[in-house]
Structure 1
Amino acid sequence: MGLGLETYLCGCHGRARGHRRKLAGHVAVTAQDRIVVWGGYELDEQNQINYAHRKVAMYTVALAQWRYRVTHGQIPPGTCGAAAVVAGHHLFVLAGFQQDLVLDELWITGNTNAIYALNLSSLLWSRISPKGIPPIAADKLTAWTFDHFIYVFGGFGECHTPPGESVEIVLGAEAHVNRGWNNQFLRYDVALNQWEWPHYRGHKPSPRAAHAAIVVGSSAFIFGGRLDNTRLNDLYHCDLNSLTWTCLMTASENFDPTRPQGRSWHSLTVVSATSAILYGGYDNRNTPLSDCWRLDLSEPKSLQTSRPRWTRLAFADRQPRLWHQAVLEPESRQLWLLGGVVKDILNQHELNQHPDKIDKLVIEASPLKYLAAVTCAKHYERLKRDLEFIPKSLQASVKSKAAIDVSHLEF
Structure 2
Amino acid sequence: MAESSSRSCSNGSPITSITQDHLFTILLLLPIDSILSFAITCKRFRALASSDALWESICRRDWGPNTVDALNSSNLHFQHHQLPWMRLYKQVSQLDSLSIHNLTYPDTELALPCPRASHSLNFVSDYLVLFGGGCEGGRHLDDTWVAYIGKDFQKILNWQKVNSGIPSGRFGHTCVVVCDFLVLFGGINDNGSRQNDTWVGQLTCHETLGISLSWRLLDVGSVAPPARGAHAACSIDNRLMLIHGGIGLNGLRLGDTWVLELKENLCSGKWREILTYPSPAARSGHSLTCVEGTRIVLFGGRGLGYEVLSDVWVLDISESYLNWVQILYELPNIPGGVSLPRVGHSATLILGGRVLIYGGEDSQRHKKDDFWVLDISAIPSITMQPSTLNSARILAKMWRRLKATGHKPNRRSFHRACADHSGRYLYVFGGMVDGLVQPAETTGLGFDGELFLVELLLQL
TM-score normalized with structure 2 length: 0.63
Report whether the alignment pairs 1:156 with 2:220.
no
* Structure showing the higher strand proportion among its residues: 1
Asked if the contact 1:93–1:115 (Cα under 8 Å) also holds between the matched residues in 2, the reply is yes
Q: Deviations over 1:243-274 (max 9, x none)?
A: 22110136869998567421110011111233
Counterparts of residues 42-61 of structure 1 (less than 5 Å): 42-43=135-136, 48-61=137-150
Name the residue aligned to 2:134. Answer: 41
- 1:30 offset after TM fit, Å? 1.6
- 1:224 offset after TM fit, Å? 0.2
Moved more, 313-322 or 115-124: 313-322
Amino acid at match of 1:114: D
User: Separation in 1 of the partners of 2:417 and 2:445?
Assistant: 20
Match of 1:262, SS state, is: coil
Counterparts of residues 305-344 of structure 1 (less than 5 Å): 309-315=398-404, 317-330=408-421, 333-343=424-434
CA 1:134–1:332 in structure 2 vs 1: closer, same or farther (change >3 Å)?
closer
Match of 2:285, SS state, is: coil
Amino acid at match of 2:289: I
Amino acid at match of 1:184: D
Match of 2:308, SS state, is: strand
Moved more, 230-239 or 282-291: 282-291
How many residue pairs match? The answer is 322
Name the residue aligned to 1:284. Answer: 363
CA 1:303–1:279 in structure 2 vs 1: closer, same or farther (change >3 Å)?
same
Bigger radius of gyration among the two: 2
Match of 1:23, SS state, is: coil
1:226 maps to which of 278, 302, 307: 302
Q: Deviations over 1:197-235 (max 9, x none)?
A: 2454x5221101000110012100000000132000000
Match of 1:231, SS state, is: coil
CA 1:87–1:71 in structure 2 vs 1: closer, same or farther (change >3 Å)?
farther
1:348 maps to which of 441, 447, 450: 441
Asked if the contact 1:232–1:252 (Cα under 8 Å) also holds between the matched residues in 2, the reply is no
User: Separation in 2 of the partners of 1:132 and 1:198?
Assistant: 17
Name the residue aligned to 1:179. Answer: 251
User: Separation in 2 of the partners of 1:51 and 1:358?
Assistant: 20
Match of 2:176, SS state, is: strand
Identity of matched residues, %: 22
Moved more, 32-41 or 54-63: 54-63
Amino acid at match of 2:306: N
- 1:358 offset after TM fit, Å? 2.4
Counterparts of residues 124-143 of structure 1 (less than 5 Å): 124-143=214-233
Match of 2:360, SS state, is: strand
Amino acid at match of 2:121: A
Match of 1:78, SS state, is: coil
Report whether the alignment pairs 1:360 with 2:435.
no
Name the residue aligned to 1:80. Answer: 171
Match of 2:220, SS state, is: coil
Name the residue aligned to 1:204. Answer: 279
Name the residue aligned to 1:297. Answer: 376
CA 1:143–1:288 in structure 2 vs 1: closer, same or farther (change >3 Å)?
same
Asked if the contact 1:233–1:251 (Cα under 8 Å) also holds between the matched residues in 2, the reply is no
User: Separation in 1 of the partners of 2:178 and 2:326?
Assistant: 28
Match of 2:284, SS state, is: coil
Amino acid at match of 1:34: Y
- 1:119 offset after TM fit, Å? 1.2
Name the residue aligned to 1:408. Answer: none
Match of 1:136, SS state, is: coil
| Higher RCO, Cα 8 Å, sep 6+ | 2
CA 1:300–1:85 in structure 2 vs 1: closer, same or farther (change >3 Å)?
farther
* Structure showing the higher helix proportion among its residues: 2
CA 1:255–1:10 in structure 2 vs 1: closer, same or farther (change >3 Å)?
same
Gaps of 5+ in 2: 1-104, 205-211
Amino acid at match of 2:325: T
Report whether the alignment pairs 1:117 with 2:200.
yes
Match of 1:315, SS state, is: strand
Match of 1:290, SS state, is: coil
Amino acid at match of 2:162: V
Report whether the alignment pairs 1:238 with 2:327.
no
